[in-house]
Structure 1
Amino acid sequence: MSRPEIATQINFERSGYDNEQLLMLYKALLKPRMIEEKMLVLLRQGKISKWFSGIGQEAISIGVTLSLLKEEYILPMHRNLGVFTAREIPLYRLFSQWQGKASGFTKGRDRSFHFGTQEFRIIGMISHLGPQLGVADGIALAHKLQKEQNITAVFTGEGGTSEGDFHEALNIASVWSLPVLFCIENNGYGLSTPTSEQYNCKDLADRAAGYGMESHIIDGNNILEVYSKISQLAESMRNDPRPVLVEFKTFRMRGHEEASGTKYVPDDLMEEWAKKDPVDNFREFLLNQNVLSEALDKEYREEIKSEIDEDLKRANSEAIIEFNESEELNDVYQEFKYQEVSPSEETEELRFIDAISRGLKQSMERHENLVLMGQDIAEYGGVFKITENFVESFGRDRVRNTPICESGILETAMGLSIKGMKAMVEMQFADFVSSGFNPIVNYLAKVNYRWGQNADVVVRMPCGAGVGAGPFHSQTNEAWFTKTPGLKVIYPAFPYDAKGLLNTAINDPNPVLFFEHKALYRSIRQQVPVDYYTLPFGKASLLREGKEISVISFGAAVHWALEILENHPEIQADLLDLRSLQPLDKDAIYNSVKKTGKVIILQEDSVFGGVGSDIAAMIGEECFEFLDAPVVRVGSLETPVPFSKALEEGYLPKKRFEEKILQLLQY
C-alpha cells in the first residue's frame, strides 16, 4: 500500500541526484539533529554546562561541508555542529571536548566549538566572532601563494556582520581576489536583538556590491538548494579564485544558548519557521519520492542513536583532567629551539633603521614562506623606507601593500600561519596597533595554549616620542602586551641587537611584538655584521659595570642613561639594557641588584602600569635583603604624548632621571 503524499513547506529539486546521494544527505542531516536532542537532555540533567543549539539550521552546515573537498578549510561558528559531524570527527572526541576532557581538542582549556583541528581542517571560532573572517583570508591567501586550487569557507551570523572585522575581511578578500566563501547564517536574532535592529538594508547579500563581490541568497533550510548551489560555487571559485558572499535565510529555533530561552520571539514567527524544519521537510520529501521508507528511517535513527550512546559512554568513562602546572605553562608557547647563527667578522657601519632593513631582507632570503604585509610597504617602501626595493627582490606576492585595516591584516597573518607560512605585519606606527588589538591578545596570544596551533607572526612596531609626532604617533605601548601570556616582546636599542633579534623573531614560531624606536632610526650608528646572524631572546646586555647602582632600561631610554652616566663619570653604575621584555632576563637583573644594592629603572612609558613597575615588584620580592634603598622608577608624565618640543621635553623623563639617580646615590 503506497504512502499518501504529504506536502512540504520547502520546494525541493532533485537536480539529477540519485537515491544514494539523497539518502547520504538525509543521514548527514539527521545526525547533528539527534546529537543536539541528546545534548539538550543532558543539559537539563546538569551533565553538560552550556549548549548553543543549531536546531533548524543543519542544512547549511551539512550542505556547505559536503560541498567542499576534505583538504579545504572550514571556519565554523558555535551553531555549526553539522560541520564537525560531516567531517566525520569521532563523536567521543566531541563529547570529551564538551566535557573538558583530554580526548577533546583543547585539553580542557576551552569549551563547545572554540577549537580547531588541523587533522579535520576545521578552525574554530573565538567568542569575539569577527576575527575568524580575516583568518579565512589568510588561509585562502596561502592557498593562492602555494598554487593550490582550494577554497576556504567561513561562517558568521547576521549579528556578526555588524563588526568591523566582517567588512575588513570582505574588503581584503576582494582586493586580493582570495577564494573565500563567506557564509552568513541569517537566523533572525543576535542573542535577543532582531535583524531590524542589526542592519538597515533589505538583504545582507547586498553588502557584497560595495566590495565588488559576487553574492547569492539561498534558502538555508533547503538541503538540496544549499548543497547544489554551494557545490557549483565552490568548483567555480577553484577555477576562478575570487571571494563570494552567500546569505542563508534560516531561523534559530532555540535560544542564543539554552539559558537565554526564546520568550522575545513572537509565537507566530516560531510557528511559521517550525513548519520549515529542514530535517522534517526533507524526510517528508524523500518519503514522498519513495527514496526513504519508514523502516530505513528507523534503521538510520537506531544506528545514530547507538553511535551516540556508545561514544557518550566512552567520553563519560574518561578521567577528569588534572591540573599540571608545568604542562599549563609549557603550552602557552610553541616550543622554539633557538639556533645560534654566529655573526661574521666582516662588519659595516649601519644606522638602526638600516640594520632592521638588512635583517628583514636576509630573513626573506632564508625563509621562502615569509610574507610581509603593511600599509605602503611595497613600491613606496613603507613610511620609514625599511622595505624599499623589496618588491624588486621578492615580488608583490611576498611584499604586500594592505588596505588600512590593522585587525583584518593581523587575522590574515594568523591564517597564513595555519597553512604553515610565516608573516611579518608592519604597523605604520605602533599607536595604530590599537585598531588590531583584539586579534593579537585574543587570537594570536591564546591559540597555541587553546589547541596547539602556533601563530608564526612578527608585528613590527615603530614607536616612541622625541620626534615631535604628537599623541597618535609617539606612544611606546609595550606594556599593553608584556602582560599577555602567549606573546613575546622585543625592544632593542642598538643596530647590532636590532638585526640579530629581528632574525630570531622571524625564526620563532610564536607571535612576537618587535618594538623599534623611531628616534633611533637615523640617529644611532654601529658596526654590524654583514652576514645573517641571530641573538637569543631573554638575554639582557650589560653595557657598563659599576658597584654603586644598577640602572635598568630599554629602548631609547638606554641612550638617555648612557648620556647621563657619561656626564657623571663619578657614578659607578651597572647599566643593563634589557633588549627582551618577554621573556625577561631575570637573572641578569637580580645579579646586578645583589651586587650594587641600589636600583633605578628608566622607561619611556609613563610609570604606572609600565614594565618597570613589574620589575620593581620582582626585585622587592626576590632581592629585598640586598637592597640599601627603595627601588626607584622613572618614566614619562601621566599624560598623552604632546606635540611641541618644549612640552615633549617636559613629558619625557630624561631630566628627571638625572635628578633621581643623584638623589638615590645619596640615600
Structure 2
Amino acid sequence: MSNKIKFTTNAISNEQLLYLYKSMLKPRLIEEKMLILLRQGKISKWFSGIGQEAISVGVTAALYDDEYILPMHRNLGVFTTRKIPLKRLFSQWQGKMNGFTKGRDRSFHFGTQEYHIVGMISHLGPQLGIADGIALANKLKGNSKICAVFTGEGGTSEGDFHEALNVAAVWSLPVLFCVENNGYGLSTPTSEQFNCKNIADKGIGYGMESYIIDGNNIIEVFAKVTEIAESIRKKPRPILLEFKTFRMRGHEEASGTKYVPQEDLDFWASKDPLENFQMFLKEEKILTEEIELVYKEEIIHEINQDLEEAYAEENIISTKNLELNDVYKHHQFKLIAPSENKNNIRFIDAVSQGLQQSMEKHDILVIMGQDVAEYGGVFKITDGFVEKFGKERVRNTPICESAIISTGYGLSVNGMKAVVEMQFADFVSSGFNPIVNLLAKSHYRWQENADVVVRMPCGAGVGAGPFHSQTNEAWFTKTPGLKVVYPAFPQDAKGLLNAAINDPNPILFFEHKALYRSVYQDVSENYFTTEIGKAAVLKEGTKLTIISYGAAIHWVIEALNNHATISADVIDLRTLQPLDVETIYSSVKKTGKAIIVQEDSLFGGIASDISALINENCFEYLDAPVKRIGSLDTPIPFQKDLENIYLAKNNLIEEILKIYNF
C-alpha cells in the first residue's frame, strides 16, 4: 500500500479548499483538547475520530444544511461542520442543560432538528433504518432531498445493516450509506468480521451502486460525495460508500491500540488526512503560515471561551416529576364524539374502518407491513387500501421487522406518521430492539417524538401454536416511553386506534385474533376517538372487582352471565400503559375484593403489577387476598385440548368463586 495521498483540486475553488481545511482543523483541535481534559479527569469518556476527519467533514460539506445526517460517535466533524455552537457540544458532554439531552444521555447520543442531525443509540444498527424512513419521507414529499447515515465496518455485521440496505434498494430510497472501514470493530479485525474483500462488494447483493473512497483524502471525499448527492437528488436511489480509513486511537481512550501492529500505525500515521492536506495546500501556495496561524488562533479561542462558558453553567437540578413528565411527549387528547349512526360490525371491520378513516384524515400517514398492500394483510384488514390510497402510502415490506420499525421512526423524525403491522405479535421479537431502545427512549433522551403505532395481532384460542399465539404485552408495559393499548370490543378498537394514530408517542396496539371475526358490536360510522388511558366499567356490583382486558374480558362476562348471583364490578382496562389506577382503586375500595384476569401466562404479567398496586394503595380496604388469574407458564401449544389446558379460561369461575366467598 502506498502512503502517498494524491490530491487533485477537481475544479474546487481555493476558497472551498481552505474551508475544507479549516473544517477538518476544528474537530482535530477540539479532540486534542478533549484528550487533555480526559487525562485531567474533567470528562469521563471519549471516542476519538482522529485520522478520520476527512470523511465527516467531506460528507457533511457535500450535503445541504437541511438534509439529514445520521452520525456515529466518531463523527465530530459532522457536528462542527453543521456549525453547532461549541458551548452546546461542551455542555452536552458535561451533562449540562445547554446540551441536547438535559443530561440524560452522553457524548453524541443525541439529535437536533435545528441542525438536521439524528444521533445514534449504542445498538448501532437501527440508525440505518431511521435513514430509510427519513429518505422515504423525502421521496413521498417530492422535495429532492437526500440523507446520509454513518456506520463502521463492525456495524455491517449486524442484521440491521442487511435489512436497511435491502429496504432502501427495493424502495429506491435516496440514502447514502457511509461505512467508515477503519479495519477494526473495537479490537476485532475485519478478517474476523466478514469474508469479502471490500464492504462495497456487498452492494452487489442488493442491486445497489457502491464505491470505494479514500477516506483520508478530503478532496476525493468531498468531490465524489458531491457528485453522487447531485445524482441521487435527481434520480432517487441508495448508494453504498466504503471509506477506507483508520482510527489512530482506541475504540475509546480506555481501550488503547495494543492490538494493532506497529507497522499499521506507522503507515496510517503517514496518511494523516489533516497533515497531508495541509502540506498539499502549502505546496500549492493556497495555505500560508499566516492563514494557518489565524485559523488555529480563532478555533483555539473559540474552544477555550466556550469551554469556560460550559464549565460556568450550573449543574442540572431536576425533580422526579420533571423527569417523569419527559418520558412521553405531551399530547392534548381531542375528543371526537362517536355518531349515533351505527352499524353492527365485527372487531376486524372496526379496526379496518379506523385505519381507513385515519388514512383519509392524515395524508402524512403511511401503513407498512408484510403483505399489507394488494393482498390486504393476512387478516384482510387493509384489503382495498391500495386502490384508495396508493402503494406509496400502503407499503408491502420485506420480512424485516427491525428495519421497518426503525423506518417508521425515520418517517416520524421527518414529519410523518407511521402504522407498522406485525403480521403476528409474536414476530415483534425480531423488532424488539428499536421499539424498546429507540422509540421508547426518544422523547426522554432528546425531546423527539416517535409518531409510530405498531399493530399487534395476538392471542391464543385459535390453534396457532407457540409462534402465532402469544399475548406478549408484558414485554412492553415494563418499558418507560411506550403506550400499550389493548381493546376488547369493536367500538373501542376503532376509537382507540384513531386516538393512537393521533398521539405522537410510540404505541403498541394489541388486537386479539380470536376476537376479529367472533365479536360484533354496533359501531359508530363516523371518525371518532376514545381516550387512551381510561378504563371502562362494563358491569357494576358491590362484592368483588374483576379487572381484565382483551379476550379475557369476554371470559369474565361469560362466566358472570352463567352465575347471575355474583355481584361484581367488571373493569375493562382497554389501556395497559398508562394504566387507569383511579378506576381500579375506586372500585376495590368499594368492593373490598379484587381479581385480575389475563390471558398471558401468569408469572411476570401485568396482573402481578396491578396486584402489587392494589396491595400498596388499597390494603386497608381489602377483605381477601388479591387474586391473579393467568394461563399456564408454558409456551402455547397447538393441539386444541392442550391449548384448553393452557388457557386460564377453563378454571376461571372456580377461582372467582373462591375469592367471592372468601
Aligned partners of 2:398, 2:381: CA distance in 1, in Å? 19
Alignment partners' CA distance in 2, 1:71 and 1:418:
13
Aligned twin of 2:247: 252
In the other structure, the counterpart of 2:406 is: 411
Cα separation, 1, equivalents of 2:113 and 2:659: 56
Rounded to whole Å, the distance in 2 between the matches of 1:339 and 1:544 is 27
**Retained in 2: the 8 A contact 1:8–1:281?**
no
8 A contact 1:338–1:536 mirrored in 2 = yes
Counterpart pick for 2:12 among 11, 14, 17: 17
Aligned to 2:571: 576
In the other structure, the counterpart of 2:333 is: 338
* Paired residue secondary structure (1:257): coil
Report the equivalent of 1:235.
Answer: 230
1:359 equivalenced with 2:354 (yes/no): yes
2:445 is the counterpart of 1:447: no
Identity level (%): 69
Which residue in the other structure is 1:156 paired with?
151
Which ranges in structure 1 are unaligned for 5 or more consecutive residues? 1-6
**Structure 1 equivalent of residue 323 of structure 2:** 328
Q: Indicate yes or no: 2:314 matched with 1:319.
A: yes
Q: 1:60 aligns with which of 51, 55, 61?
A: 55
* Aligned counterparts of 2:19 and 2:124: Cα–Cα separation in 1: 31
Q: Is the 8 A contact 1:491 1:555 kept in 2?
A: yes
Quick one: distance in 2 between partners of 1:508 and 1:295? 57
Task: Quote the offset at 1:8 in angstroms.
Answer: 7.7
For residues 640 and 435 of structure 2, the distance between their equivalents in structure 1, rounded to whole angstroms, comes to 33
Q: Counterpart of 1:236 in structure 2: which amino acid?
A: S
1:46 aligns with 2:32: no
- In structure 1, what is the Cα distance between the partners aligned to 2:474 and 2:425? 12
| C-alpha distance in structure 2 between counterparts of 1:403 and 1:547, whole Å | 53
Distance 1:373 1:329 in 2: 31
1:276-301 per-position Cα deviation (integer Å, ceiling 9, x unaligned)? 00000001111111111122211211
The one of 23, 26, 33 aligned to 2:21: 26
Report how far residue 18 of structure 1 moved: 2.4
> Please, which of 263, 269, 272 is the counterpart of residue 277 of structure 1?
272
Kindly indicate whether the alpha-carbon contact (under 8 Å) linking 2:546 and 2:568 is maintained by their aligned counterparts in 1. Answer: yes
Give the counterpart of 1:468 among 463, 484, 492: 463
Q: 2:381 aligned with 1:347, yes or no?
A: no
Query: Match of 2:423, SS?
Result: coil
Q: Secondary structure at the match of 1:561?
A: helix
Deviates more, 1:455-464 or 1:536-545: 536-545
Counterpart check, 1:542 vs 2:537: yes
Q: Which position in structure 1 is the counterpart of 2:71?
A: 76
Aligned-partner SS, 2:623: coil
Q: Give 1:397's aligned residue.
A: 392
Amino acid at match of 2:174: P
What amino acid is aligned across from residue 290 of structure 2 in structure 1? Answer: A
Farther-moved stretch of structure 1 (636-645 vs 537-546): 537-546
What are the superposed Cα offsets for residues 565-594 of structure 1, whole Å, 9 maximum, x if unpaired?
111111111111100101111011001111
Alignment partner, residue 304 of structure 2? 309
Counterpart check, 1:178 vs 2:176? no
* Matching residue of 1:623: 618
Give the Cα–Cα distance (whole angstroms) in 2 for the partners of residues 236 and 594 of structure 1: 68
Name 2:629's counterpart in structure 1.
634
Q: Does the 8 Å CA contact 1:153/1:183 hold for their aligned counterparts?
A: yes
* Match 1:119 to one of 110, 114, 123: 114
5 Å-filtered alignment, 1:500-511, equals 500-511=495-506
2:370 aligned to 346, 355, 375, which one? Answer: 375
Post-superposition offset of 1:656: 2.0
Distance 2:287 2:583 in 1: 74
2:132 maps to 1:137: yes
Which amino acid letter does the alignment assign opposite residue 244 of structure 2?
A: K
Asked if the contact 2:3/2:268 (under 8 Å) is kept, the reply is: no
Q: Distance in 2 between matches of 1:15 and 1:546?
A: 82
The reply to whether residue 104 of structure 1 matches residue 86 of structure 2 is no
Of the candidates 285, 293, 301, which is equivalent to residue 288 of structure 2? 293
Q: Using the alignment, how far apart are the partners of 1:11 and 1:552 within structure 2?
A: 73
Deviation at 1:114, TM superposition (A): 0.3
Aligned to 2:480: 485
The separation in 1 between residues aligned to 2:274 and 2:323, in whole angstroms, is 42
**1:69-91 deviation per Cα after TM superposition (whole angstroms, max 9, x unaligned):** 11100000000000000000000
Deviating more after overlay: 543-552 vs 657-666: 657-666
Cα offset, 1:14, TM superposition: 1.1
Bigger mean CA deviation after superposition, 197-206 or 291-300: 291-300
In 2, the alpha carbon distance for the partners of 1:8 and 1:187 equals: 15
Cα displacement string for residues 603-651 of structure 1 (whole angstroms, at most 9, x for unaligned residues): 0001111000000000000000000010010100000000000000010
SS at 1:258 equivalent: coil
C-alpha distance in 2, partners of 1:439/1:349?
38
1:201-236 alpha-carbon deviations (Å, 9 max, x no partner): 000000000000000000000000000100000000
**Counterparts of 2:509 and 2:17 in 1: how far apart (Å)?**
54
**1: distance between equivalents of 2:12 and 2:559?**
81
Aligned pair count reads: 661
Match of 1:264 among 259, 262, 282: 259
* Rounded Cα–Cα distance in structure 2 between residues aligned with 1:236 and 1:418: 24
Question: Which one-letter code corresponds to 1:286 in the other structure?
Answer: L
CA RMSD of aligned residues (A): 0.8
Does 88-97 or 317-326 show the bigger shift?
317-326
- The residue number in structure 2 matching 1:4 is none
**The one of 77, 84, 90 aligned to 2:85:** 90
Is 1:655 aligned to residue 650 of structure 2?
yes
Aligned equivalents of 2:437, 2:209: Cα separation in 1? 31
Q: Deviations over 1:219-269 (max 9, x none)?
A: 000000000100000000100100000000000110100011111111111
Give the whole-Å Cα distance in 1 for the aligned partners of 2:272 and 2:421.
48
TM-score normalised according to structure 2 size? 0.99
> What is the alpha-carbon distance in structure 2 between the residues aligned to residue 553 and residue 58 of structure 1?
57
Q: How many angstroms apart in 1 are the aligned matches of 2:499 and 2:10?
A: 56
Cα distance in 1 for partners of 2:14, 2:530 equals: 64
1:339 is paired with a residue of what secondary structure? coil
CA distance in 1, matches of 2:546, 2:169: 51
1:323 CA displacement = 2.2
How far did residue 666 of structure 1 move? Answer: 2.2
Q: Deviations over 1:51-102 (max 9, x none)?
A: 0000000000000000001110000000000000000000000000000001
CA contact under 8 A between 1:355 and 1:498: conserved in structure 2?
Answer: yes
TM-score in terms of structure 1 length: 0.98
Question: Do the aligned partners of 2:3 and 2:267 also contact (CA within 8 Å) in 1?
Answer: no
Which one of the candidate residues 586, 589, 601 is aligned to 1:606? 601
Question: 2-side partners of 1:266 and 1:497: how far apart?
Answer: 64
